Structure 1
């Protein structure tokens, strides 16, 4: 694969990650100017994440059916237009709605990046290295987000945080048109009932956590059960359930969910802690988050090389254990400590996520047949984004209002213990599921035809 093509494909993930981290640093200023409380700020993040997660599988299916090049270009256009709408928002409700449209654009463009890499790199070692570069380049958005967000908010307010996406989208669209050839279509249909029930399940679930609404929780459970029934009976399912018959695919997808549940939830509460408890300015808070994000950039390519040489299991387990150690370090912070007390937690979590990213993606897509690469990548990304949206809701609910410093810090301690336990459990799961390539649950491996591909 040509390096320039690989970098171009990384642009989709870069934009998605950049927008998440830029927004987090801008939240306190944005909330003050738009008169938005903690609940509204959670929806500024989750309005984007929920839609992205709910529609990622549909976006992957659209790419498989109509070709990933055209769908990625459409996603870039939608994402850019929605970013402009965010930049001109006059209320929290307007901003949340525009963020939801951003999620639609991201869901269209994101799965195609992994699908094209998988198609262009049939050799497993080459593919693992390419995915390592993909993880490292896309992770540049994470440290860039807090820095750019801090600078922009300090100098020009929060609106340029969103408007910055527009020229990047234009450049990416031009590069995709030039470097990615049309093609790669697989005959099939789009599972609209599946997409609708998935969106309802995730949206209601997040709302239930943020608003403490039992009725919404019931709707979420009902919609999730309905989604599984639809996928089981559908001629062209959005989520081919046989995809999860591979123990490695199912395990890697679950671990990916744990990764983003903790990672995105932690970014929210760390940002609020730095600005509301330690009283750092936006730019200083952005700089303070670099120890969390820089390891993702530095260790992503290393994770790809380790995965190519050793397989995905060693870097996944090492990343989870290192991250759990960092999460336990959250117990050291309180209302009277300095930034130095938070630093070990940032470094440990960042290093763990850096080792995990490329390895779990490789484990998730390796067992999938080439013609279903978009779906395999979409399932993994959907699990990550859905869990990230829930993580933002849960972490915000447990930590509570950052204006109440003692209660907020007690919430951080609770989150540190629970998150460390979750990642230790994920490490045990990785030991069982992410070893050498596995067969399907029926012992026959991948069938020559999947439901909806006849």
Structure 2
């Protein structure tokens, strides 16, 4: 046991941290790479699609969102297949190979269409890796009262990789903190641009993850042959209402969407608050920082006191913290530290709220996953989170036309809906959940 959790969970967490760092590198690097002129988009920008004029910003957004959509929609499929064949490691390793090879391909493609294909392949690689990894974390829990702690440790390391990746990526591309130009590295007579160095680090992240999984992660005993016969995703509860896991999945979708609202609005927020990119970067990272600090203790507390109270408290805290981000620019004076300080505080509170929802929510799904189908069950939440992150920027970009408050008011409204769903539809599963339905229960509604 290390950090109060299984060493295999820690190995998976470190592998996911390296993988997340490599992917978050590309979130920063790809927009710069496309805008640098090294990708041929001149014949595309200014064109028309479904009545809309194509802009460089739209093309960049499409590249970034494509990964999220393919990753999210692919997860239920790969999670279901891994349940059916009763194995996890091959999916994790195969996904890392696909992601690493695609990362290595970027320096060799120069057309926008090719960049789209490579990013799509990376999304499919992630779809192979994520459900199997989460399922293993769940499978390693020998009892319900350690599941929340396992997910807390796993999410902490994953968020460290995701949160620090963009910072490191900017330093690698520019060759130092605060620089604006793309640097070049000379290694034994070989000249490497900052872009190619960043792509190489993304590949390295996949290689490190692969090695950790091969050396330190073993396959748990396979569940019984009949465990994976029914791999449908329950939408409705046999006793009426919405299935608990599906309700938590809807809440996770809304929560992730509120996280992603902020990034698209950097310019108007900075203008309204009279601040620079450094303060915006701190505010953006505050949600991740709060999660890194709180995922483990909240996961452990959820194992001791129950899942549902934390999820309810998290959504109750999420709604006002998101709404405040739209109100602060309207009620503070630009150029003072009051507005930026309040924005930082609201982002920290949002991070606390996210931490209270995420690890306990995964623990709920793990509690209710029958033997041999944790990949299918947990993929509901991982898909929901990925879709929220993918849709968030698109939603905020559209709603901004109605004013800076509109995206955040919409996000706060979603948080309230998630709170109501949790209170009315989510049952406590610690010590009281039954992962096996009665024989005379009506069949679940399948979501294909």
Which category of TM-score, normalised to the shorter sequence, fits these structures?
A: 0.7 to 0.9
Aligned to 1:434: 426
Mark the CA change 1:167 to 1:296 in structure 2 (over 3 Å): closer, same or farther: same
Q: Decide whether the 8 Å contact of 1:150 with 1:286 is kept in 2.
A: no
Q: 1:242 and 1:254, CA in 2 relative to 1: closer, same or farther beyond 3 A?
A: closer
Task: From 408, 432, 437, give the equivalent of 1:416.
Answer: 408
Pick from 2, 8, 30: which aligns with 1:5? 8
Q: Does 1:297 align with 2:288?
A: no
Structure with greater helix percent: 1
The corresponding residue for 2:438 is 444
1:277-296, CA deviations, whole angstroms, 9 ceiling, x for partnerless residues? 97846x77544532221001
Deviation at 1:274, TM superposition (A): 5.3
Give the 3-state SS of the residue equivalent to 2:372 in structure 1: helix
* 2:262 match: 266
CA contact (8 A) 2:395 2:407 kept: no
Gap change, CA 1:19 and 1:174, over 3 Å in 2: closer
Instruction: Report the TM-score, using the length of structure 2 for normalisation.
Output: 0.77
Distance 1:434 1:110 in 2: 24
Gaps of 5+ in 1: 190-234, 400-406
Please give the alpha-carbon distance, in whole angstroms, between the structure 2 residues aligned to 1:446 and 1:178. 44
Q: 1:287 to 1:332 in 2, by over 3 A?
A: closer
Tell me which residue corresponds to 1:220. none
Asked if residue 29 in structure 1 is aligned to residue 22 in structure 2, the reply is no
Task: Pick one of 310, 313, 317 that aligns with 1:318.
Answer: 313
Matches within 5 A, 1:300-449: 300-330=295-325, 331-333=327-329, 336=334, 339-340=340-341, 342-399=343-400, 411-437=403-429, 444=438
User: 1: distance between equivalents of 2:355 and 2:69?
Assistant: 24
CA shift for structure 1 position 347: 1.8
| Secondary structure of residue in 1 paired with 2:103 | helix
CA distance in 1, matches of 2:200, 2:317: 36
Deviation readout 1:142-179 (Å, 9 max, x if unpaired): 32123213322332444544432211211221221122
Cα distance, 1:448 vs structure 2 = 13
Structure number with greater Rg is 2
Provide the residue aligned with 2:200 in structure 1: 163
Cα RMSD (Å): 3.6
Please give the secondary structure, in 1, of the residue aligned with 2:261: helix
Matched-pair contact (CA < 8 Å) for 2:159–2:292: yes
Q: Which residue of 2 is the match for residue 178 of structure 1?
A: 215
Distance 1:287 1:152 in 2: 19
Indicate which of 167, 170, 174 corresponds to 1:150. Answer: 170
How do 1:228-267 residues align onto structure 2 when only pairs under 5 Å count?
A: 239-241=232-234, 247-267=243-263
Alignment: residue pair count: 397
Pair 347,284 (structure 1): closer, same or farther in 2 beyond 3 Å: closer
Distance 1:446 1:130, change over 3 A: farther
Measure the CA separation in 1 of the matches of 2:12 and 2:436.
35
Conserved 8 A contact 1:292-1:346: yes
Q: 1:63 aligns with which of 69, 82, 104?
A: 82
> For the residues of structure 1 that align with 2:417 and 2:382, how far apart are their CA atoms?
21
Quick one: distance in 1 between partners of 2:290 and 2:263? Answer: 14
Within 2, Cα distance between the matches of 1:144 and 1:412?
Answer: 28
CA gap of 1:310–1:432, structure 2 versus 1, over 3 A, is: farther
CA shift for structure 1 position 336: 4.3
Q: Decide whether the 8 Å contact of 2:100 with 2:203 is kept in 1.
A: yes
Deviates most, 74-83 or 345-354: 345-354
- Deviation sequence 1:343-367 (CA, Å, 0-9, x none): 2332222221122210111112211
Matches of 1:81 and 1:274 in 2, distance apart? 38
Counterpart CA distance in 1 for 2:167 and 2:415 is 28
Rate the CA distance shift 1:309–1:174 in 2: closer, same or farther, 3 A. Answer: same
Deviations 1:125-149 (A, max 9, x none): 1122111111212111232123213
Aligned 8 A contact 1:65 1:187 in 2: no
- Change in CA separation of 1:183 and 1:350 when aligned onto 2, cut-off 3 Å: closer
Report what 1:202 is aligned to: none
Alpha-carbon separation, structure 1, partners of 2:117 and 2:232? 27
Question: How is 1:187-266 mapped onto 2 (pairs within 5 angstroms)?
Answer: 239-241=232-234, 247-266=243-262
- Between 169-178 and 71-80, report the one with greater CA deviation: 169-178
Give, in whole Å, the separation in 2 of the partners of 1:411 and 1:114: 39
TM-score, L = length of structure 1:
0.76
Contact persistence 1:243–1:376 (CA under 8 A): no
